[in-house]
Structure 1
Amino acid sequence: MKQHFFPALRLTLICIVVFMGLYTLLIWVVAQAASGGGKGETVSVNNKVVGYKLEGQSFTDDKYFNSRPSACGFNAAGSGASNKGPSNPDYLKEVQNRIDTFMVHNPFVKKEDIPSELVTASGSGLDPDLSPQGAYVQVPRIAKTRNISEEKIKALVAQQIQKPLLGLFGPGKVNLLQLNIELDKLK
């Protein structure tokens, strides 16, 4: 028994030191070197922090590009999905309510043209990005509300599209916070 117990105890103590101490310290050092010092990358307008680059926010005003729905109310401390399956009647009712609300605020859009991301929550509930299609479908509403030409707003969306990594990995996306900040700068 001694020949198995003491090596196992030593291995356990080594793992505790390495994984609880050294690994944690390494991750902390890397985070400190990152922009934001490990606290997230903030976005500021006129020296006032308005949000975080990688954390979604609720935009529901008609003069802004609306964000993707969140099952956790955009609470980063309680990030998560609703965990309801696609055949759950409560979930289907919730999605239908989101579609109906979207149609009221965007009467120019046909139901079949609504991107699913605008009526379904992401897995984390904190998705900060939309697909270009999710942004472009909202252009007529914003143009009418702000009395700005659709072409000008479409050009703004096109400028804000972030291409896939190396042009290969993942889809193009638009950071919603940055897009709405730039939208406020339009005259």
Structure 2
Amino acid sequence: MALHHDESGVVGRHNVDSSPVGDESDVFDLRRRFCATQKKDFDRALREINAGRKCSCWGWYIFVTRPYVVNGEERGSDTNQDFALRDLHPNTLGGDDAARAYLRFGADGVDLRANYILIMTAVAEQLEQGVDPITLVGFIDDPKLRSSLRLFERVTRDGLDVEVNTVCCRALSALKEPRE
């Protein structure tokens, strides 16, 4: 099983235009960070999950989550920080607004919400069939998967996005993971 800690192996990290797009409707830089990488790698990620084992490095931009914060300070690798869903100033360590925007965003033929539903449905199906989460995504990406599911479950509660909330609850239940 690949350990997924060497960032040089991040599939979508290379050859992605990192220049700002200048799109005022994309204040969270979703197009550059997520649409470009998912356009290139989403099908591969979905195939790996459907096969029962993540084999390449794409967790940062498929299992998206807010910044990893310890004692009020952001931690994690440069790649983790680049792909974290962070809100606008002054709440840059939060990610709720960015997560909601993520679910409404699409560009370049990529629908981020649809992709999230597809990948998390595949995750839930594998877990429900008894695939161990560490086997499925690796021990490095297991916390990211859980954090992503908790974030999106929370921001879609109360009917804000029933379909996303349902798939998140389903996967969290299969993980025996509590809601936030």
Asked if TM exceeds 0.5, the reply is no
Q: Please identify which structure carries the higher helix content.
A: 2
Structure showing greater radius of gyration is 1
Which TM-score band applies after superposition, normalised by the shorter structure? under 0.3
Q: Bigger relative contact order, structure 1 or 2, given CA contacts below 8 A and separation 6+?
A: 2
